[in-house]
Amino acid sequence: MDTGPARPTAATSPVGRMLSFADDMPSRNWGWFALRGVLMLLLGAFAVLLPAPALFTFALVFAAFSFVDGLFALVSGYRRARADQPRWLPLALSGLFGVLIGIIFVAFPLIGTIAYALTFIALIIGWAAVQGVLQIVSAWRLRRSINNEWTLIALGALSVLLALALVWLLFQNPAITLLSVAWVIGFWAIVSGVLMLMLAFRLKRHCAETDASGGVTDGEASAA
């Protein structure tokens, strides 16, 4: 008996095909992930082996981004003001601040690099101190509800000690402390690059297994 045209299933509908394509994109582009991993490793090696030039390069990229982003914000703020739209002043002020950062770095590159490194260190110090205090407070409040709360207290204490150590190093040997910013970024890039390469090889293996099975996943095979 003819029941009319068959309804599109989740797999054959346009939305289903689009979602399937989106889910399959990472495995098909494993080479892009591998390239990103190699680039991250090269960046990390550059930062670890040559911290001073790397720190200058990072600051230069940040200044260029701030300058370009500030120009776009200024243009957007100007257009909003011309159109009598609200909230144009904060946008224009943020754009002006970004442009000034770029100009200051071009005019005083050494000062700009030092300011960039100091800002980064200040963020690390603030993050470590706040996180450490919150972990200690949380462990103290949860001491009757959880076991081995001393581990959370130890983690909090280590974070606070990290913040104090950075402050002490900043006053004792500021040059080494400023260079440590490049080392931190370098080690982060190396770890991220290794993880990116591991992900790329896993995606490559998944892509090969999918092609070998004719593009049918285990879930689709069991559903069939």
DSSP string, 75-144: HHHHHHHHTT-SSHHHHHHHHHHHHHHHHHHHH-HHHHHHHHHHHHHHHHHHHHHHHHHHHHHHHHHTTT
Average pLDDT over the chain reads 77
Instruction: Report residue 190 as tokens.
Output: 């190396």
Indicate the pTM of the whole model: 0.59
Question: What average pLDDT does range 72-99 have in this prediction?
Answer: 84
According to the model, what pLDDT value does residue 22 have? Answer: 41
Per-residue pLDDT band for 19 (boundaries 50, 70, 90) equals very low
What gap in Å lies between CA 64 and CA 51, rounded to an integer? 20
| pLDDT for res 143 | 67
Lowest mean pLDDT among 48-62, 86-100, 119-133, 199-213: 199-213
pLDDT value for 21: 42
- In 29-87, which ranges are continuous DSSP H helix? 30-49, 51-82
Share of residues in the chain with pLDDT > 90 (%)? 5
pLDDT of residue 165: 82
Q: Round to whole Å and give the CA distance between 136 and 154.
A: 8
Band of the pLDDT at 214, cuts 50, 70, 90?
Answer: low
Q: What is the pLDDT of residues 87-114, one digit of tens each?
A: 788 888 888 998 998 898 888 888 888 8
Rounded Cα gap, residues 107 and 69, in angstroms: 19
pLDDT for residue 41? 92
Q: How confident is the model at residue 167 (pLDDT cuts 50, 70, 90)?
A: confident
Residue 131 has pLDDT above 80, yes or no: yes
Domain boundaries, the chain: 31-208
Residue 146: what pLDDT? 59
For the cut 70, the answer to whether the pLDDT of residue 182 exceeds it is: yes
